[in-house]
Structure 1
Amino acid sequence: MSTTLRERLEALGDTFWLRPAILALLGIVLGEATIWAERSDWARSLLPEGWLYAGGEAGARTLLGGIATSTIGVAGTTFSITVAALSLASGQMGPRLLRNFVRDAGNQVALGVFLGTFVYVLVVLRTVRSVEEGSFVPHLGVTGALVLALLCVGTLTWFVHHIASGINVETVIGTVHAELRDAVARLTLDRPEAEPASAPLPGCPVTLGQGGYLRALDEEDLANWAAKQGATLVLLVRPGDYLFPGVPLAEVFPATLAEEASGRVRDALSLGDRRAAAQDLEFAVRQLTEVAVRALSPGINDPFTAIAVLDRFGDVLCGMTDRHLPGRAVLRGGRAVLFRRRVTYDGLLDAMFHMVRQNGASSAAVLLRLMEVLGAVLTAERAPERRAALRRHADLVLAAGRQELAERAGVADLEARYAALPSDP
């Protein structure tokens, strides 16, 4: 799947109304289909005689009206529960995590089932006629309304369970952790890329007249253009960065291609008012970090949540031992045509551990668990440069503990765990 398509699909997932609108449209189509089947005398052949609604016009109106009233009322209640859950999650885990609740397909489908049932009933109800009006009772349509009403009962029961478990912090951490593991699998490589010579000297800058977060960048398209033109592009930004108007975001060689390169770069990037996970490996890392930092705030003071986040970071890093981050250059025909800013292992560690360590420096439990996580990753990791980065963070944890921990026993435990770290092979 192309990067641009993935980013657009992710943007669609952020649209809360999309699934409810589709299900409401399906409700209209289903209502029209049942009326057509009823008028085509298909109703008797579709279902056994005893399964169809057998009442008259007055009973059909009453039944359909009751279903319509109850479903739209429950739809409003469902929306209210969702808003209350979003408010609670925003206060406890951070407003940026609201994205995960808005994207939750279960919440969207639950609301869509109620709205779809409501519009279906309206479509069927408008066709019910008394004897004076021509006597038409859509038996198949009323039977369908009863079935959808039973579906709404099951959906409401499931929704209450889903929303209650969805605001559990462990569930939220698990969801973001799964997103992070998916990003690692998608954005890392099975084998390392060859590193060519360093990028050429500064060339003609490429700027943009608008600002925003870089959500996605089509590097393949830029590399193909540069190879065709015999040019070299040096990207100064990467997905997740905020682009400022007038600040260079790339450089092109030769300078004669600057104007054409500006148009190609503008076409290859996607801007937005918030970051996206399609190409940004640090996106989910920062979401988990925010959960941990909020948990360590004086108002919440929940080190267990921070420890749960550290455990997930350790899991991801241990899973990266046989994965490699993309290289700096994109080659075409053996020539480096595109140089890019890349995510580094050191940068990932900094995003994972710096803020947690700084905010948890006075908590012995957090620092001890952080040292244990670093020790576990050191046991699994064999690359010398990565081990050096992990040891650098272990040194920072030890220094923070010696400076901030008031209890001598906590410092002694931290020093013991530091001394027990695996030595270099």
Structure 2
Amino acid sequence: MKRLLFRARQTSEQFWFIPALMTLAAVMLAALGIELEERHGLPPELTFIYSGGETGSRSLLSAIASSSIGVAGTVFSITIAALSYAAGSMGPRLLDNFTRDRGNQVTLGIFIATFAFSLWTLRSVQGGEDAPFVPHYNVTFALLLALGCIGALVYYLAHVTRNINMTQVINLLRDDLRVALQRATEPRDDQSAGAPPPDTFWEGGEVLRAPAGGYLQQVDTGALARAAAEAGTVVRLLVRTGDYVFPNTTIARGQPTLPPDMLEHLTLGDGRVAGQDLEYSARQLAEVAARALSPGTNDPMTAIDVIDRFGDALCTLKDRRWPSGLYQEGGQLRLMLPTSDFAGLLDTMFRMIRQYGADSPAVTVRLLEVLGQVGTCLEDPGRRQVLRRHADLVLEDALRVTENSGDRADLQARYAACCRQLGGAAP
């Protein structure tokens, strides 16, 4: 069931989905308007309804249909070209945001629905003396749709201009990362599921091999734990969400057996998706920073903005902990999953920035400052130790390529302040 909902949500986010629904609704509305006027005619008291003849209505509907589809094609083709250019510096996530944005989908839907409504109405216009028919209701509504297209065009131009702004993209990715962190962690006062069994426990159990390759996009943990309980077995998943699964490799073990139809609870796909994959959301922001630090772009301010957003997201973990990956059903352990941890998250966030930004003192200094400030929020000694490790790596890489004595002094000063904030002294 969870896989079906996952696929349905992915389908609903496709660029064509909302326009297709709006087009279908427009055709049905056009047919309803024609049927209503054929049966009941046009009441004389409705003076605001279009009252022209066959020639005028045909010309008006033709103009609305041609202009709506023409403007839509021209504007969206130019926008895609602009987005493709911008995505070269910010990464392919920008195009993904564009196609999934509801505002963009509704705007395209308005243009296409206006075209479909006008075209469907146009076919019902009849001239001559035998049985002339002009769908006055539909022509009036087509005029209103044309006005709506003008408003949608103005909104769309402003909306797209704002969405390709670098700060807006970074803030959007920051929001995605916050949501992913909330999903991946749990409050500190939650009860632990107990200690995991030793590795020898899994010896001799049934093995599950991947039937095909792809990224593990989702695990239905609740259904899988219940299936293991019904089968009287314990399952250990060897890959975590976001890992690429190679065909015929071992991805799970069961003791003593595996529950039937276990693959029904695992969703494989061609790409990584946000949701259960925490590191995917962090990697998107890190990619923006890495591209900004490339010699062809040379935009350290964008990298500094990304570092600030990483610090923002990490400080939300103050009262949260990482789950154990152990799931019980009926008071007994039934499922064991590999999970992300704080060290892995920081590697995803800061490794590429540290490597590509080592020769930029502005970036490394800000990175040391953020690591120290995050340490004041996260009081756990283990997390502070991980932060200290990254501070040590940043200083080592930066001093190796920084020759200016003033910059080296700034780095040493920021590193010493970072160590004090992390509860230790600089070596």
TM range (shorter): over 0.9
SS in 2 for 1:342: coil
In the other structure, the counterpart of 1:226 is 228
Bigger shift: residues 218-227 or 33-42: 33-42
SS in 2 for 1:44: coil
Q: 1:267 aligns with which of 253, 264, 267?
A: 264
Q: Distance in 2 between the 1:212 and 1:51 partners? A: 59
Q: Distance in 2 between the 1:111 and 1:119 partners? A: 12
Deviations 1:295-326 (A, max 9, x none): 10000010111111111111100011111221
Instruction: Tell me by how many angstroms 1:86 deviates.
Output: 3.2
C-alpha change, 1:198 and 1:388, in structure 2 (3 Å) is farther
Q: Distance in 1 between the 2:124 and 2:274 partners? A: 48
Q: Is the 8 A contact 1:89 1:98 kept in 2?
A: no
Deviations 1:71-99 (A, max 9, x none): 11012113303321331233111224422
In the other structure, the counterpart of 2:371 is 374
Q: TM-score, normalised by structure 2?
A: 0.93
Q: Percent identity?
A: 46
Bigger shift: residues 80-89 or 240-249: 80-89
Q: Is the 8 A contact 1:3 1:216 kept in 2?
A: no
SS in 1 for 2:76: helix
Instruction: Tell me by how many angstroms 1:187 deviates.
Output: 2.7
Q: Distance in 1 between the 2:41 and 2:279 partners? A: 57
Q: Distance in 2 between the 1:307 and 1:19 partners? A: 37
C-alpha change, 1:133 and 1:122, in structure 2 (3 Å) is farther
Q: Is the 8 A contact 1:189 1:324 kept in 2?
A: yes
In the other structure, the counterpart of 2:247 is 245
Q: Is the 8 A contact 2:216 2:269 kept in 1?
A: yes
Which aligned pairs between 1:17-416 and structure 2 lie closer than 5 A?
A: 17-41=16-40, 43-44=42-43, 49-191=46-188, 192-194=190-192, 195-201=194-200, 202-203=202-203, 204=205, 205-254=207-256, 257-258=257-258, 261=259, 263-416=260-413
Instruction: Tell me by how many angstroms 1:206 deviates.
Output: 1.3
For the aligned residue pairs, the C-alpha RMSD in angstroms reads 1.8
Bigger shift: residues 122-131 or 93-102: 93-102
Amino acid at match of 1:397: V
Could you list the runs of 5+ residues in structure 1 that have no partner in the other structure? none
Q: Is the 8 A contact 1:3 1:278 kept in 2?
A: no
Q: Distance in 1 between the 2:247 and 2:389 partners? A: 36
Q: Distance in 1 between the 2:42 and 2:11 partners? A: 38
Amino acid at match of 2:225: A
Q: Is the 8 A contact 2:384 2:422 kept in 1?
A: no
SS in 2 for 1:310: helix
Instruction: Tell me by how many angstroms 1:132 deviates.
Output: 3.0
Could you list the runs of 5+ residues in structure 2 that have no partner in the other structure? none
Q: Is the 8 A contact 1:14 1:99 kept in 2?
A: no
Amino acid at match of 1:320: L
| Aligned residue-pair number | 417
Q: Distance in 1 between the 2:125 and 2:413 partners? A: 80
SS in 1 for 2:174: helix
Instruction: Tell me by how many angstroms 1:26 deviates.
Output: 1.1
